[in-house]
Amino acid sequence: MTKLLTLSPPLPDTPREHHSFWARIANELAEAIARGVYEPGQRLPSEHVLAEQYGVNRHTIRRSLASMCQKGLVRITQGSGTYVEDFAVDLIIGKRTRHRQSLAQAGLRGGLEVQDAQRTRATAAQAQALQVPARSAVLRLQVLGVGAGQPLHVSDRVFPLPRFDRLEAVLRETGSITDAFSAHGVADYTRKESRITAQLPSPAVAALLKQPASRPVLFVTSVNIDSAGVPIEFGSTWFAGDRVKLTVAHDDH
């Protein structure tokens, strides 16, 4: 049975582009794919069916699907239909690793969403990575990385306090770690190290990534430092293995 989708009312502060029917429909279909309404490889309803569901003409639907195709969400097969693409974003892990920049290079939009925040004491491993005394005060964030409406990775990020006392608020507002660091006087930061392994996710991580717990993920631990070489972030990140390709860059850019 075909699942009907309904358009949500436009928000007054939404960019002008998103007020257009074709962009709104593309966004709604992308969200449906992210929720698993349409699985990878599944054929979407025909242009005629979608046009009737949304109350628009087929030209509008065609433009929505073309936009999704450009973003890599679907593939259009002439004479057959439109199919959900096997989603795989190439994310760069290098000296300067930036989530939003990696998405932009792939022609996608996205950001970071704070799922949970705690002010706690550093574990032995966290204190060693951040080069602070054991049991030092830290800010611990669980963050979801999203691209084109898809959950790409879940991370557990730890920052020393009181240096980054307002980081949670800025990150929630901007969706950018870079902006959050900048608000605390860190104009630039680099990746000191990254360690990559494959493992099975916990049920909680699998739920956030919207994948089975039996499907492996790429697990990366990392340390970021400021321009003076002082550690400012220790992170553990689980990447959805079927949606993300990790490229390790060896240059300084």
* All residues at 6 or more sequence positions from 155 whose CB lies less than 8 Å from its CB, including other chains: 142, 143, 145, 235, 236, 237, 238
* All residues at 6 or more sequence positions from 136 whose CB lies less than 8 Å from its CB, including other chains: 121, 122, 127, 130, 160, 161
CB-side neighbour CA atoms (13 Å) of 253: 2
pLDDT of residue 55: 93
CB 160 within 8 A of CB 136: yes
Could you give the C-alpha distances from 36 to 10, 40, 91, 103, 147, in angstroms and in order? 23, 9, 22, 21, 15
Asked if omega into 203 is within 30° of 0 (cis), the reply is no
For 16-84, give the CATH class: mainly alpha
Give yes or no for residue 17 having a pLDDT over 60.
Answer: no
Domain ranges (residues) in the chain: 16-84, 89-248
CB-side neighbour CA atoms (13 Å) of 157: 24
Q: pLDDT digits over 203-226, tens only?
A: 999 999 988 888 899 999 999 999
The radius of gyration of the chain's CA atoms, rounded to the nearest angstrom, is 20
Beta strands 150-160 and 137-147: pairing type?
A: antiparallel
Same fold, 16-84 and 89-248: no
Average pLDDT over residues 45-67: 94
Percent of the chain past pLDDT 90, that is, above it, reads 59
Superfamily of domain 89-248: Chorismate lyase-like (3.40.1410.10)
pLDDT of residue 252: 55
Average pLDDT over residues 159-186: 97
Amino acid 39 reads E
pLDDT averaged over the chain? 86
**Helical ranges in the chain per DSSP H:** 21-35, 47-54, 58-70, 99-105, 124-130, 167-174, 177-182, 203-209
pLDDT of residue 87: 63
CA 122 to chain centre: 26
Average pLDDT over residues 90-109: 79
DSSP-assigned letter for residue 215: S
Could you give the C-alpha distances from 214 to 34, 211, 237, in angstroms and in order? 19, 8, 18
Of 45-54, 86-95, 135-144, 238-247, least confident by mean pLDDT is 86-95
In terms of Cβ atoms closer than 10 Å to its own Cβ (0-12, 13-18, 19+), residue 72 is: middle
